């Protein structure tokens, strides 16, 4: 059996845990909105048409923030189509996903849903086919208290108080040729800067997110961030990052190490942003909004694009990936990566919430259930409190085709000093060997440690998944054999597993 160890020390902190790390994403794409969060005829639908079963699972998932309404969708979206009497709202073509948008759900309805779910809204603005004035109009409708035309229109539509949305995305993936309104970095940077300054004239306290690269594999990666930030550095707070992972060509070893790529992505964006700041002689630090990330078998989706474009449909089934055990372990590891970068990644959104590459699945008129990737997200969101601790595992390594030599064990920890709790999150990437893990706790001024809870997600069948007929086929189980002896936490990590342990200090 392999062995690994790392030491926990309350002095070695990264940053406070940001609750916005546990964000999600609702795009008008496929069945995320219609028959996802919203289905008036469903047996669980409330008076506003929202599915109560999906709302309950959203709360259980521990989502803190939701990015809305896109995504690629937003680059052709007219926000005003989604307000006023529903019967009078226009049906529009959505070029991004070759579907029809009924606009039954717009900003007024979505804010109602967000209030019920208990989540903050990150609102994305269209800078693909629109510009400064349209962004100002959306902000006025959303946040202006009263007296102006659009504030009074919102009140006439039933929302007396402004929505108080603080985070706004200045477009989406405009570096990508697939994006409606695709732009060069110079074109986008200037537009984003103009829009940001105009929005700040209306509300100086907004938090604004500039569009970063759609992935680290883009040919313009880093150069895009550098030029965009040259234009926007003093006007924005965040640069976005997007990344999706899949087992390419059956390479499970590299897939299990996907967090290595996420680490490098974040480090590269931070280095680029800081370089721009240095050239501008600015003391400001740009943060990273990792507002799209997940496991997504994009190669399968690209192969099916012909079916998507065959006709214009409402809420077609699009990228409804079924997730297995290995996917859940990778998602747990990506959360570890996000947490250890909490000094610079202070907002993140798993894409998406329901049906579309999502932790929650639902069927029209039928059940909603948790996919395998639901569980590491929900447990991490619940247990990660206080400050993130810097963790440096020592142990075996293995070779991967994509990333070279990588550690078998990856981990992060959080310390809630006020509650007297430590939470440890750890993965074993080995496909065939268990790992004995030892974690010395001697740096904490406590003589009594208790394991309050310990969970492991793994399975002998790594292809196992949850379905409507068998929704609990893959669930976390209580970790066997976890002990604290002589000031040291000890446990065994099964092959291809994700684990979380909460320790109380007395």
The DSSP result for 121-146, as a single string, is EEEEE--SS--HHHHHHHHHHHH--S
* C-alpha neighbours within 13 Å on the C-beta side of residue 458: 24
Listed by start position, the domains of the chain span 2-9+388-505, 25-383
Fold agreement (2-9+388-505, 25-383): no
Spatial CB neighbours of 463, under 8 Å, sequence gap ≥ 6: 324, 325, 326
Which pLDDT score is estimated for 309? 63
pLDDT of residue 252: 98
Question: Tokens in use for 396?
Answer: 């075996």
CA angle 104, 107, 111 (to 5 degrees): 110
How many CA atoms lie less than 13 Å away from 293 in the CB half-sphere? 31
Q: How is residue 83 written in tokens?
A: 């307000």
Q: What is the pLDDT of residue 121?
A: 98
Segments of the chain with pLDDT less than 70: 303-310
Residue 335 confidence (pLDDT): 98
pLDDT at 248: 92
Length of the chain: 506
pLDDT attached to residue 461: 98
CA angle 448, 450, 455 (to 5 degrees): 155
What is residue 5's predicted lDDT score, i.e. its pLDDT? Answer: 98
Architecture of domain 25-383: Alpha-Beta Barrel (3.20)
The closest alpha carbon to 64, from 466, 290, 349, belongs to 349
Is the overall model pTM greater than 0.85, yes or no?
yes
Sequence-distant (6+) residues with CB within 8 A of 38 are 49, 50, 51, 104, 105, 109, 113
pLDDT tens digits along 127-153: 999 999 999 999 999 999 999 999 999
**What residues form DSSP beta bridges with 490?**
438, 483
| pLDDT score at 308 | 62
Percent of residues, the chain, with pLDDT higher than 90:
95
Confidence at residue 9, expressed as pLDDT on a 0 to 100 scale? 94
Name the pairing type of β-strands 360-362 and 387-389.
unpaired
Q: Which of 162, 243, 216, 228 is nearest to 192 (CA)?
A: 228
Q: Which residues are part of the catalytic machinery?
A: 173, 292
For 2-9+388-505, the fitting CATH number among 3.40.50.1110, 3.40.109.10, 3.30.470.10, 2.60.40.1180 is: 2.60.40.1180
Q: CB–CB of 25/352 below 8 Å?
A: yes
- pLDDT attached to residue 307: 58
């Amino acid at each position: 059996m392999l062995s690994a160890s790392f030491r926990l020390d309350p002095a070695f902190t990264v940053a406070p845990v940001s609750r916005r790390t546990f964000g999600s994403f609702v795009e008008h794409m496929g069945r995320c909105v219609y028959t996802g969060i919203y289905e008036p005829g469903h047996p669980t639908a409330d008076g506003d048409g929202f599915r109560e079963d999906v709302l309950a699972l959203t709360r259980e998932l521990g989502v803190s923030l939701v990015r809305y309404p896109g995504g690629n969708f937003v680059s052709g979206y007219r926000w005003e189509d989604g307000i006023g009497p529903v019967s009078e709202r226009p049906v529009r073509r959505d070029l991004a996903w070759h579907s029809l948008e009924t606009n039954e759900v717009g900003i007024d309805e979505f804010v109602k849903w967000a209030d019920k779910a208990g989540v903050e809204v990150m609102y994305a603005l269209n800078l693909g086919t629109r510009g400064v004035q349209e962004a100002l109009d959306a902000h006025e409708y959303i946040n202006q208290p009263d007296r102006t035309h659009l504030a009074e229109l919102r009140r006439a539509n039933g929302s007396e108080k402004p929505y108080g949305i603080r985070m706004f995305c200045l477009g989406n993936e405009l570096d990508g040729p697939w994006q409606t309104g695709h732009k060069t970095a110079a074109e986008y940077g200037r537009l984003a800067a103009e829009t940001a300054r105009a929005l700040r004239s209306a509300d100086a306290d907004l938090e604004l997110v500039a569009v970063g690269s759609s992935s680290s594999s883009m040919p313009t990666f880093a150069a895009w961030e550098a030029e965009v930030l040259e234009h926007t550095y003093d006007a924005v707070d965040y640069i976005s990052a997007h990344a999706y992972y899949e087992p390419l060509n059956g390479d499970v070893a590299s897939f299990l190490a996907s967090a290595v790529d996420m680490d490098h992505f974040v480090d590269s964006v931070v280095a680029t942003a800081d370089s721009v700041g240095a050239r501008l002689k600015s003391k400001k630090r740009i943060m990273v909004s990792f507002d799209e990330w997940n496991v997504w078998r994009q190669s399968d989706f690209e192969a099916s694009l012909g079916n998507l474009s065959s006709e214009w449909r409402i809420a077609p089934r699009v990228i409804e990936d079924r997730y297995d055990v290995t996917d859940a372990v990778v998602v747990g590891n990506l959360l570890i990566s996000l947490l250890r970068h909490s000094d610079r990644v202070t907002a993140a959104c798993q894409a998406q919430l329901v049906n579309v590459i999502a932790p929650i699945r639902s069927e029209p008129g039928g059940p909603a259930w948790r996919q395998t990737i639901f569980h590491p997200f929900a447990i991490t969101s619940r247990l990660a409190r206080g400050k993130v601790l810097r963790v440096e595992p020592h142990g075996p390594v293995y070779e991967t085709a994509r990333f070279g030599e990588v550690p078998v064990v990856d981990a992060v920890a959080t310390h809630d000093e006020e509650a007297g709790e430590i939470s440890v999150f750890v993965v074993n990437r080995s496909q065939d060997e268990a790992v004995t893990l030892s974690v010395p706790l001697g740096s904490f001024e406590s003589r009594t440690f208790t394991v309050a809870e310990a969970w492991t997600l793994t399975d002998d069948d790594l292809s196992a998944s949850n379905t409507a007929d068998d929704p609990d086929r893959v669930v976390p189980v209580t970790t066997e054999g976890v002990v604290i002896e002589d000031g040291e936490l000890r446990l065994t990590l099964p092959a291809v597993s994700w684990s979380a342990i909460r320790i109380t200090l007395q």
